Structure 1
Amino acid sequence: MTKKQVKSKRLIAAKNLKRGLIGLFAILAIIFIINSPILKIGYVKVTGNSYLPREDVLQIARITEPINIFSVQTDVIQNYLQNDLRIDTAKVWRDFPNCLNIEIVERLPLAVMNCSYGYVDLDKNSVIIDTYKDPKKIQKPVIVGTSLDDVYTGDKVENEVVNKVLSYLGYLKPEVLQQIIQINIADANTIEAYTLKGTKIILGNIEDPEDLANKTNEFFYDVKTTTIPVEYIDFSYARPVLKIKQ
């Protein structure tokens, strides 16, 4: 091998080393920039949640603030959210330079039932979407007169009476649903609902949930316009029977 060839090989090796060092420094610089505190997301904006607290949404998304805007995988976070039964749909996107947006549509519960280990939330399809032990978390009417054993999140409650009650509750106006605190189904032919003010609503066997809900909505509208205290109203008759408190 001639001196010229040796010199040429050394030059090539030096160039390759230089390129390698430049590439290494570039990679290190990118890693430094990605992990720089400057790129920490200042705020995670959560919208669409009325039932789930913001903290619960972040927990479902597996987010701990602050997080790095370049390390966020929006599709992964979106999958975490959509795999939770309490969430119907989710959308996640970045707003540069320092905000992550989470928009969800909740699968709202309609009622609560007792179970062997606490309480379960049921959606309109009789699916258990949440379980908990703290009664302070109860936000919907509690169905009493029966209880559930060995049930888990995602299970469907196969009970005809419960299904009727949930259908009825689903037709109520939101402001009316908020006034119902308990529904007793101990007697399937004389189902009773109770309001925040202690009024009893006798629903009968709920043959027509939609019609019964419409009557209930009308009743609450009428009650708003009067100061007369109502002890109970009975919808099990063709013409509702109303009793005034003495």
Structure 2
Amino acid sequence: MAKKTKQSYGNYIIDNKEEILKRKKKIIKLKKTMLLLVVMISILITLALTLPTFNLSEILVSGLVNLSEDGVKTTTKLQKGTNIFKIKTKKIEKELEKNPYILEATIIRKYPNKLSIAINERKIAFYTEISGGFYVIDDKGVVLEKKESIEGIEALRIEGIDETCLKIGEQIKNIDEDKIKAICNIHKFIKENSLFEKYNIIKLEVNDFVDLKLYVNNLHMKLGTVDKVNSKVARGFSIIESGTLGEMKGYVDVSFEGNPVIYKEK
């Protein structure tokens, strides 16, 4: 049986000799092509890592609002003349994102010798004055820094948050997510409707989250709890914009459904 199998195999070789030779030639050709590709890739990598053409000559930074270009460049620790292929962009992005102001940093190589750094900054929305300084907070409730001055910053003043709740780089502590969201929604409504420009919006009082108060001009809105705070703020400003209150001192209570209560101080 074994003898017959060997003979059959021999006959197959004889009958298909040309086809087998073609196959072998293809395999040899493929191996040579693969070897050539490996050599070419190796040469290209070597050239890319050694040619001065690919040495960093310029760093482009975009998206800055509060941060300085020099500050961003200093954080990257990048030096001109460094080969751009040797730069670990992901590592630098993570280093940049340690800055509380930076929500996201994206680095792109601009061949042959430039780097583009796109910064997505957090947006300042609030500030609170504590211990002789000003904590600035973004529109998601993240504490960005403590400053000596807030000159030139358009933000809503909040009162009633203890300093122990404020840690730079982190969201306001000891306040649940719904309450933070409510504060942020109030600022968003004011910002999107350009109300900072129309009115003297003094502060948002959050001493008691059962009774939020927004101080505008000479009066304040009693907003009550965080439930449906968007519609409450909208109702409050609608009453103010109607012009019927003038320079009235007192409050508008929109903390409940139904007709609001308007109280005028005597």
The aligned counterpart of 1:5 is none
The aligned counterpart of 1:13 is none
Unaligned 5+ segments in structure 1 are 1-25
The aligned counterpart of 2:128 is 113
**Residue correspondences, number:** 207
The equivalences for 1:5-154 within 5 A come to 30=50, 40-41=57-58, 44-47=60-63, 49-50=64-65, 52-55=66-69, 58=72, 61-62=75-76, 67-68=80-81, 70=83, 72-96=87-111, 99-116=114-131, 118-136=133-151, 138-149=153-164, 151-154=166-169
The aligned counterpart of 2:186 is 169
SS of the equivalent of 2:99 reads: coil
Query: Given the superposition, is the C-alpha separation of residues 121 and 200 from structure 1 closer, same or farther in structure 2, using an over 3 Å criterion?
Result: same
Query: Given the superposition, is the C-alpha separation of residues 55 and 84 from structure 1 closer, same or farther in structure 2, using an over 3 Å criterion?
Result: same
Query: Given the superposition, is the C-alpha separation of residues 233 and 69 from structure 1 closer, same or farther in structure 2, using an over 3 Å criterion?
Result: farther
**AA at the equivalent of 2:105:** A
**TM-score between both structures, scaled by the size of structure 1:** 0.60
Query: Given the superposition, is the C-alpha separation of residues 85 and 227 from structure 1 closer, same or farther in structure 2, using an over 3 Å criterion?
Result: same
**TM-score between both structures, scaled by the size of structure 2:** 0.57
Query: Given the superposition, is the C-alpha separation of residues 200 and 175 from structure 1 closer, same or farther in structure 2, using an over 3 Å criterion?
Result: farther
The aligned counterpart of 1:12 is none
> In the aligned structure 1, how far is the partner of 2:181 from the partner of 2:54?
55
The aligned counterpart of 2:204 is 183
How far did residue 85 of structure 1 move?
2.9
**AA at the equivalent of 1:110:** A
**AA at the equivalent of 1:185:** V
Query: Given the superposition, is the C-alpha separation of residues 201 and 94 from structure 1 closer, same or farther in structure 2, using an over 3 Å criterion?
Result: farther
Identity %: 18
Q: Which shows bigger deviation, 55-64 or 105-114?
A: 55-64
Unaligned 5+ segments in structure 2 are 1-45
Which is higher, the Rg of structure 1 or of structure 2? 2
How far did residue 141 of structure 1 move?
1.0
How far did residue 125 of structure 1 move?
4.8
> In the aligned structure 1, how far is the partner of 2:237 from the partner of 2:114?
42
Q: Which shows bigger deviation, 88-97 or 145-154?
A: 145-154
Higher helix share: 2
How far did residue 124 of structure 1 move?
4.8
The aligned counterpart of 1:240 is 260
Deviation string, structure 1 residues 26-74 (Cα, Å, up to 9, x no partner): 99xx597777xxx521x52312x44x2343761674357x844635543
How far did residue 118 of structure 1 move?
1.9
The aligned counterpart of 1:192 is 213
